[in-house]
Amino acid sequence: MATTLYTTTATATGAGRAGGRAVTDDGALDVTLAVPTSMGGPGGATNPEQLFAAGWASCFHSALKMVAAQKKTELADSSVSADIALAKTEDGGLALSAAMRVHINGVAQDAADALVAAAHEVCPYSVATRGNIAVDLTTTVA
């Protein structure tokens, strides 16, 4: 059985993504939500997909740093961008997909690819979504 290290709560109120509000229990996150203009909404505020992208990108970057340290590989400069797409399915539902774009400086391409693959195995967001949504991993080096 897993030992819980941290628990947080976020509560959404109002009209959900269409002008609602999301607040964490500690007040560190307090955002108004809006449907993006590309989906016919007013934009001007964040949306659930942006919040998911930010969480996954930061978690994946932490996992990348962790596996690099375990492999005694120094990452002087790296970044992770998460592209989260919301698409309409053929049956009229909605589905997410993700493209994780990882950039690492100072590491050979094969070593960088191995680090990204290892990070994808241990990142809690990657584990939670595995088999549930399409995920594309791209690694670039400089």
- Tokens 């690492």 locate to 104
Does residue 2 have a pLDDT over 90? no
What element of type H or E holds 134?
strand 134-141
Mind listing the pLDDT tens digit for each residue in 93-129?
Answer: 999 999 999 999 999 999 999 999 999 999 999 999 9
DSSP for residue 40: T
Q: Angle at CA 105, nearest 5°, toward 102 and 79?
A: 35
Distances in Å between the Cα of 42 and the Cα atoms of 29, 31, 48, 65 are: 21, 15, 15, 38
Does residue 8 have a pLDDT over 90? yes
pLDDT band of 1, cuts 50, 70, 90:
confident
Same domain, 55 and 30: no
CATH number at residue 26: 2.20.25.10
Structural domain of 112: 48-141
Same domain, 41 and 53: no
Amino acid at 67: V
Q: Is the dihedral of CA 12, 17, 20, 24 positive or negative?
A: positive
Same domain, 7 and 75: no
Same domain, 71 and 20: no
Other CB atoms within 10 A of residue 107 CB: 21
Mind listing the pLDDT tens digit for each residue in 36-95?
Answer: 999 999 999 999 999 999 999 999 999 999 999 999 999 989 999 999 999 999 999 999
Same domain, 21 and 54: no
Same domain, 64 and 116: yes
pTM: 0.95
CATH number at residue 113: 3.30.300.20
Q: Is the dihedral of CA 63, 65, 66, 68 positive or negative?
A: positive
**For 14-62, where are the E strands, in sequence order?**
21-24, 30-32
